[in-house]
Chains A and B, each alone.
Chain A
Amino acid sequence: MVGFKNRYLVMEVFLDPNKEFSMDEPIRITSKNLWEAIVKSILVNFGECGLASAMNSSKVKYVNPTTKHVIVRTSREDYQKVWAAITMIKSVGHCPVVFNLLDLSGSIKACKTAALKLEELKFEQYKLSTGDRLTADAHKEMQNCLATLKLLEH
């Protein structure tokens, strides 16, 4: 039996929604700066104890800078807190962001299948929006990310 019960949140990040769409992305999201933002938010909203109890079981599992999808794992007891804290994040670094939950699942398997599907859809949109400026790098990066996604483990 699995001892740890987790929740996997698949979220997407909108970077700087106020700006007109342009290709220069203000920042590049990585698991590190996202994690910092989440920690800060939990600290502000739920305090030291909240952070302490949530921190141990929470982790940013996967980040795709192209499609801006993020997978965060949390424990089942704290996922609502962490989710609320993520919702209340106003900025990552200096860039205002908006988080939006796409999928919430209890197992890594369900999370992977959902995330793969969402990634593909999102990548289509990305291609539409970038149009001609799509580079081969973006494709490659996308492939890498998908590969890591498939290898995700709890």
Chain B
Amino acid sequence: MGFFDLNIPYRESDRHAVDKPSLRGRRLKLALKAMELGYTGVAYNRTLTGVMSESDRCSIVLFPISTLTPSSSSFFASVKFHRDILHVAGTAPFRQYTRLTVVVTNSSQALALNSGNPVLRSYDIVAVRPTRQDAFDQACQTSEVDMISIDFSKMDSFSFRLRQPMIKAAIKRGLYFEITYSDLIGDAESKRKMISNCKLLVDWTRGKNLIICSDASSATELRGPQDVANLFFMLGLSRERAKAAISSNCRSLLANAIRKKHFYKEAVKVEEVPSGGQSNTSKSVFDDWLKWDPISSGQGDVLLEDMEKSFSISKTVKENVKTIHFTSNLNGLPAHGLQIKDLVYVNKADLELCDVDKRALPVVETEGGASDEKLEKQIANTLHEQHHSLLKKEGGLGNLSNEPEGVVELPECQTSPSGASNIYANSDCQDSEVLLGYVVDAKLALLPLPGRDQVSIEVAQEEYQISGLGDSSPLSLPTFSVNSADSEEILKTSNDLEQNTVASETQLKDHPSPVQQGNCLHGGGRVHITKSNTFTIDNHITVELSNPLNKSSSSIFPLDPCTENLLEMGACANEGNRMDEIHNKNAIENTQEYPFASPHIYEDGYVEGGECSKITDSSMKFGVGSPLEGSSNMITNFDEPTTDDVRVELKQIDSVPDCQDFAKSRAGTNKRKGKLPHQPFLFPFKRYMKSKPSKKKPRK
């Protein structure tokens, strides 16, 4: 559970503010200090008195990664150190929010605090600071704000009294009360007043709906979360409540506030998807669902690792990555943006990146500009997210191949929807946004399957499908060596495929007797994969498949079981998204996917040796599924040495058995020998995939 400090004063917009750069510098220092002390989120608070005007719209600048550079490199170690002590995840992003506090002196001003006020909507959190009794009553009962902040050091017996029914009403409505602790560290007079006034509030709320903030004007007034909790324990709160007041209460406040801001009627979110990269939209939209981050403000989330990278790595890294754009538009508000967290720098040079990031990063579609390879990788990446658990550790990856160009392979991604999140790419996202692609491939089983007898192709297929569109890269590499293939052979076949994909028509090295004929496609021989730089797979598939493969495959493999399997796989693989794609592909893939269906099918055929049909990229999508994609993504770089392919193959191979299990355990029972720990949303639309007639219940 992260700790939040929701009151860092923002004075740069004050009318009489002078010396803005130094104010900004101070705010930056505060943010950095908060981060160092272990806080995971801050909110920059702007105080408004009097009448609001259009010019008061949110103009708070959230610090992007590039600005949040600390003065020394030990900063990151210090942050991690403190986070460990507080048991906060090291990978949790540091979030920034914008907040407005409206000082209200009479009830007419309080009337302005309603839900229709556009100025209020431009801030993430809205707080009201009543200074008189009627304003306080109105705030508790009717104002549409997120929290009520009272300046206890200035409150005296003449200003207003806290009354229990009012407080109860406010809590019932879901408002939070804020207490700031900067007065406790200040001088004696303010300390005295503050304690005597807020004691009442503390007693009545008993910690419920209470939030503790710092309101620190300089870095000396910040205190660590545990210290703050202890301070309030002295005031009468119980320990658990005090800790909750800086962590879980803040979190629920943020979740509510963000939800109100971004969702229409708190239920429906409207996003505008950019027109570029159309083919990828369907995928990404659904990806969003699964990776929704409830307390992200859309911008300003900073991953610690990214900060580190930006601190140490030169700027050139960023140039290699293309931003992915989604714009979410709600009444003209900025997009629910790119979560800068989960960024991955895709860079050729930075192999080490893959070691650093431990999360799956969602891939956001790139809007133009991105090389296809990268795009595909990214797409594949997103798709793969769910399958990471399927895949083996990427440890093998490192062993096997050099880093493919531009692919950042991230080790396992945790796939809990809340955790990984963020898919949104925001066109507004500010600089550092480099986005990322993410891992995925790493997961793909690079391990050379020792002793694995049967590699189910299905997994690969699954992966493949997941990767869905956008891969012009020949995902294909169907790896399926099926029964008794040993890893070497698999390797070889994968090698074969890979090499083929590399648009070189070299006969694969000792291409083993088609790895047991069972091997699909590549078992036979060469598979040429030509590079294509198109997005849609479908095109390729249709075109390509008209190739020899079709004829060979269709005759050889029964389609139905394959289809069925495929459908299943598709369902499985598809995280609910690609239904369309799968359907589209099914026809095409059937021919190719024969191998997936069952091993024995292969016996009869495989693409005749020698004749491996030239399969262009898309056609190669033998349902190797996303892992393949990942690999294929990597492969798109057709100049890569074979090792990459091998790696990919391995991945696929590895993932295949999982897939097969998957197919077996249809109904969402994800017990695959512990491979898939939890995939909650993997098959939401599975039943739509099965084209079974609907049951008709007998009417009585």
Q: Chain B, 74-106, contact with A by CB distance < 8 Å: what is the 0/1 string?
A: 100110011001000000000000000000000
Q: Provide the residues of chain A in CB contact with B71, threshold 8 Å.
A: 20-21
Pair B78/A80 contact, Cβ less than 8 Å: no
Q: A84-B233, A96-B220, A126-B74 are in contact. List 5 more A-B contacts (CB 8 A).
A: A18-B219, A87-B230, A98-B220, A118-B81, A121-B77
Let me know if B218 is at the binding interface, CB within 8 A: yes
In whole Å, how far is A127's beta carbon from the nearest beta carbon of chain B?
8
Pair B85/A17 contact, Cβ less than 8 Å: no
Out of B29, B231, B234, which one reaches A18, CB within 8 Å? B29
For the A-B complex, the count of residue pairs with Cβ-Cβ distances under 8 Å equals 73
Q: Chain A, 72-107, contact with B by CB distance < 8 Å: what is the 0/1 string?
A: 000000001101100110100000111111110000
Let me know if A129 is at the binding interface, CB within 8 A: yes
Name the 4 nearest CB pairs between A and B, nearest first.
A129-B74, A128-B74, A17-B219, A100-B224
* Interface size class, chain B: 20 to 34
| A100–B188 alpha-carbon span in the complex (Å) | 22
Across the interface, name the chain A residue whose C-beta is closest to B226: A101
Q: Provide the residues of chain A in CB contact with B208, threshold 8 Å.
A: none
Pair A83/B230 contact, Cβ less than 8 Å: yes
In whole Å, how far is A132's beta carbon from the nearest beta carbon of chain B?
13
Across the interface, name the chain B residue whose C-beta is closest to A44: B188
Q: Provide the residues of chain A in CB contact with B81, threshold 8 Å.
A: 118, 121-122, 125
Pair A128/B77 contact, Cβ less than 8 Å: yes
Residue with the highest number of chain B CB atoms closer than 10 Å, among A81, A103, A122, A129? A129
Pair B223/A100 contact, Cβ less than 8 Å: yes
Pair A17/B230 contact, Cβ less than 8 Å: no
Q: List residues 7-39 of chain A with CB under 8 A from any CB of chain B.
A: 16-18, 20-21
Let me know if A48 is at the binding interface, CB within 8 A: no
Across the interface, name the chain B residue whose C-beta is closest to A10: B85
| A83–B357 alpha-carbon span in the complex (Å) | 37
Let me know if B227 is at the binding interface, CB within 8 A: yes
User: What would 30 A/B residue contacts be, using CB atoms closer than 8 Å?
Assistant: A17-B29, A17-B219, A17-B220, A17-B222, A18-B218, A18-B220, A44-B188, A45-B191, A80-B230, A83-B230, A84-B233, A84-B234, A87-B185, A88-B231, A90-B220, A98-B219, A99-B223, A99-B227, A100-B82, A100-B223, A101-B224, A101-B230, A118-B81, A122-B81, A124-B77, A125-B74, A125-B78, A125-B81, A126-B74, A128-B74
Across the interface, name the chain B residue whose C-beta is closest to A20: B71
Q: Provide the residues of chain B in CB contact with A122, threshold 8 Å.
A: 81
| A21–B37 alpha-carbon span in the complex (Å) | 16
Q: Provide the residues of chain B in CB contact with A129, threshold 8 Å.
A: 72-74
Q: Chain B, 48-87, contact with A by CB distance < 8 Å: what is the 0/1 string?
A: 0000000000000000000000011110011001100100
Across the interface, name the chain A residue whose C-beta is closest to B239: A80
Across the interface, name the chain B residue whose C-beta is closest to A85: B234
